[in-house]
Amino acid sequence: MDLTKYSIDDVKSLPNTPGIYFYHDLDGVVIYIGKAKRLKARVSQYFQNKPLTRRLRNLVSQIVVIKIMLTETESDALVLENRMIKKHKPKYNVLLKDDKTYPYICLSAHPFPRVVITRQRKSKQGQYFGPYTNGYHVRRMVEMLQKLFRLRTCTDSYFANRSRPCLLGQIDRCSAPCVRRIDKADYARTVKQAVALLSGDAQSVMTDFVEHMHKHSDAAEYEKAAEYRDLIRLTQSFLQDSLPAARSQSLDVVCGVLAANGLIIQVTLYRNSAVESRKDYHFPEALGFIDDLITQFMLQFYQHQRHHGDLPETVLICGHEQLVAEDITSVLEPLGVKIRCKLKPTTADERQYLTAAQINLECAVTRYAEQARYYSPAFQQLASAFQDSDWQYIDCVDISHLQGKHTTAACVRFSVSGAEKSSFRSYNLDTGNDDYASMRAFIQKRFKAKSSSLVAPNCLLIDGGRGQISTIYRELQTMDCPDFHLLAICKAPGRRSGQERYYALTLEHGIQQLQFSDVVLRMLENIRDHAHRFAITKQRQKHRKASLSTTLDQIDGLGPKRIKNLLHYFGGMAAIKKATIKQLHQVPGISYDMAKRIYEFLHA
């Protein structure tokens, strides 16, 4: 790629044509990439005498070299900018790092469909509703569907091998089709009602329930009428958090603001006459101009949404007149994202959604500001203790194992805005109960050059003492990674809370014990506790998974991938043991011979 190089003194000689610009720091690292309709005008904005925000001043102070690449149109620049951001992963650009897929509610294609939460959308294997960003909301919806329609949730294998109702059937949370307590026609009717409710057609469901209630009441069947009355109340509870969406269309509302503690973008998804999900995205390091940042976010977000099959017809972007909605639409279309972007609402409904989105965004800004008021003073005091002026991130590592097995290193990240959960990471280690070897292995995995796009922390907090901090320091000396401070939190004798000792390693004084204010101590203990809980959770998940697969590991030719498929398909070893050869053969990757071998092994 041919780039033209300029110094910061040559900004006035930049061409006034479309293109993208790269800001490099003293080490030659790309720290920011932007696009412009007129390069000279846009880049000059960073170096004018007009006052900049503190965050922009921080960016400008690090710029040493500017490189540009010209394009024919601004739309071409937008596409190229998006590609270059993904390639270089600049420190101050918007970069969506959380690639997890969102959950769906699925009604399977079985004659007696099951309702299940899944993150994998396979169009030929049932009806899907979603995606949803709030996991608690999804679980509550499935729970309500069970109460309303008594749909089954068990795996097909478990269903086929029942001789009596399961616990859910016994407490009347499932209609028990496995033992023919309900026939196919009646079950299909309840499934149809569930589909109507999930599709936003609540009126038809409510009408049906009301008709049945009156019918049984007129026939003096008061107990049955009371059941339908309760179903009506449950349906109202199911719908109480929903708002009407644009009629006969799907709509997203995207709002963003560049606040004191970073870029905050909120996306609200309206699907099938309801608010399907709302999620905040926080980029504490994002810098630049708000129109550029929102454009960068939308290009990445909607390419990600396209891969998971959920695109709206329209996206309403609020409050940013500099944006050109048609440009975003035209750039996304060649990427397979066919949506219509607009900046102003054109209906009363859209004005209502826009107002609601702006109120919710203000609440999000307030929430992040409150978190910053708690963490910011502690960050400043801690940075001052190390004679630094400004800290962005503190990472904390904790090692967990079970008698030397399933060793896991967990690393959490905190900023002045609190926990950065999208940057939490766990690492599987083969180091047994050797704490020092585990620390060395963690450092290699976490900080090797090509491991991830995560920015290095200002400080790494270690749950340990002098030995652990020395081990990590020696390991870091063998690697090419950015410098950061090391701080160890050592448990007090008898593990008495509040009496922990803190050790720091500096080149001038070696390892020395430090004293901190109560504000800093509370924050460090909170971060340490987060890392500890995260490590235990991940280690237990690893242990549980290994326990399930231990028996199957003994079958010749059955590898980890097919064991995972078996456990996912049947839900556990109990169901696998009950399965027939034919049922085992239905699992992806399991041949008939392998199914026979599994069956014979489990029934020997």
- Mean pLDDT, residues 303-321: 75
Q: What is the DSSP letter of 494?
A: G
Torsion of CA 12, 17, 18, 20, to 10 degrees: -30
Task: Please tell me the chain's helix, strand, coil percentages from 3-state DSSP, rounded to the nearest 5.
Answer: 45, 20, 35
Tokens 């099938």 correspond to 272
Give the 3-state secondary structure of residue 22.
strand
| Whole-structure pTM value | 0.55
- At 252-310, the pLDDT tens digits run 899 988 887 788 999 888 876 567 777 888 887 787 788 888 888 888 888 877 766 66
Q: How far apart are CA 436 and CA 432, in angstroms?
A: 10
SS3 507: coil
C-alpha span between 277 and 141 (Å, rounded): 13
Q: Kindly tell me if the per-residue pLDDT of 248 is higher than 60.
A: no
Cα separation of 95 and 143, whole Å? 35
User: For domain 251-367, is the CATH number 3.30.420?
Assistant: yes
What mean pLDDT do residues 384-412 have? 84
Q: Which of 539, 598, 536, 592 is closest to 567 using CA atoms?
A: 598
- Residue 603 CB-density burial (10 A; 0-12 exposed, 13-18 middle, 19+ buried): exposed
The rounded distance, in Å, linking the Cα atoms of 550 and 41 is 64
Instruction: Give the pair of three-digit tokens for residue 81.
Output: 């900018």
Mean pLDDT (the chain, rounded): 80
Question: Greater confidence, 433 or 399?
Answer: 399
The single-letter code of the amino acid at 436 is Y
Q: Which of 394, 319, 309 has its CA nearest to residue 355?
A: 319
Q: Are strands 314-318 and 251-259 parallel, antiparallel or unpaired?
A: parallel
- pLDDT of residue 245 exceeding 50, the answer is no
Q: How would residue 414 be classed by pLDDT, with cut points 50, 70 and 90? A: very high
CB 24 within 8 A of CB 31: yes
Q: Which residues pair with 69 in a beta bridge?
A: 20
DSSP assignments along 278-302, one per residue: EEEEEETT--S-HHHHHHHHHHHHH
Kindly give, in sequence order, each residue whose CB lies less than 8 Å from that of residue 346, ignoring residues fewer than 6 positions away: none
Tell which residue, 502, 532, 527, 296, has the closest CA to residue 391.
Answer: 527
- What pairing do the DSSP bridges indicate for beta strands 459-463 and 485-490? parallel
pLDDT exceeds cutoff 80 at 325: no
Selected residue with higher pLDDT from 382 and 553: 382
**pLDDT score for 506:** 66
- In terms of CATH, what superfamily is 4-88? GIY-YIG endonuclease (3.40.1440.10)
Whether 251-367 shares its CATH topology with 394-532 is answered yes
d(CA 283, CA 379): 18
Question: How many CB atoms are closer than 10 A to CB 430?
Answer: 8
Cα 285 off chain centre by = 18
Exposure of 202 in the CB half-sphere (CA atoms within 13 A): 19
- Give the separation between CA 341 and CA 404, rounded to whole angstroms: 55
Q: Are 14 and 68 in contact (CB under 8 A)?
A: yes
| Extents of the domains making up the chain | 4-88, 107-239, 251-367, 394-532, 554-602
Residue 590 near residue 557 (C-beta atoms within 8 A): no
For 418-475, how does the pLDDT look when each residue is reduced to its tens digit (9 = 90+)?
888 878 888 888 887 788 888 888 888 888 755 556 778 889 998 878 888 888 888 8
What is the per-residue pLDDT for 320?
A: 66
- Summarised one tens digit per residue, pLDDT across range 495-509 is 566 677 888 876 566
Q: How many CB atoms lie within 10 A of CB 66?
A: 22
User: Mind giving me the DSSP string for 26-76?
Assistant: TTS-EEEEEEESSHHHHHHTTSSSS---HHHHHHHHH--EEEEEE-SSHHH
In the prediction, which pLDDT does 307 show? 66
- Is residue 214 scored above 50 in pLDDT? yes
Give mean pLDDT, residues 189-206. Answer: 78
CATH 3.40.50.300 fits 554-602, yes or no: no
On the CB side of 293, CA atoms within 13 Å amount to 24
Averaged pLDDT, 518-527: 89
DSSP readout, 218-284? HTT-HHHHHHHHHHHHHHHHHHTT----STTS-EEEEEEEEETTEEEEEEEEEETTEEEEEEEEEET
CA pair distance 529, 539, nearest whole angstrom: 15
For residue 113, the one-letter residue type is P
Q: Are 506 and 483 in contact (CB under 8 A)?
A: no
Q: What is 394-532's CATH number, 3.30.420.340, 3.40.50.300, 3.30.1330.20, 3.30.1330.60?
A: 3.30.420.340
How sure is the predictor about 243, in pLDDT bands with cuts at 50, 70 and 90?
very low
**β 405-415/394-402 pair status:** antiparallel
Q: Considering the chain, what percentage of its residues have pLDDT values greater than 70?
A: 85
User: How far separated are the first and last CA of the chain, in Å rounded?
Assistant: 64
Spatial contact of 49 and 60, defined as CB atoms under 8 Å apart: no
Crossing angle between the packed helical segments 135-149 and 184-198, to the nearest 10 degrees: 140
Higher-confidence residue of 82 and 323: namely: 82
Rg, Å, the chain Cα set = 29
Q: Check pLDDT > 80 for residue 169.
A: yes
pLDDT (0 to 100) of residue 242: 40
Rounded to whole angstroms, the Cα distance separating 224 from 222 reads 5
- The contacts of residue 151 (CB under 8 Å, 6+ apart) are 107, 113, 114, 115, 145, 174, 175, 190, 191, 194
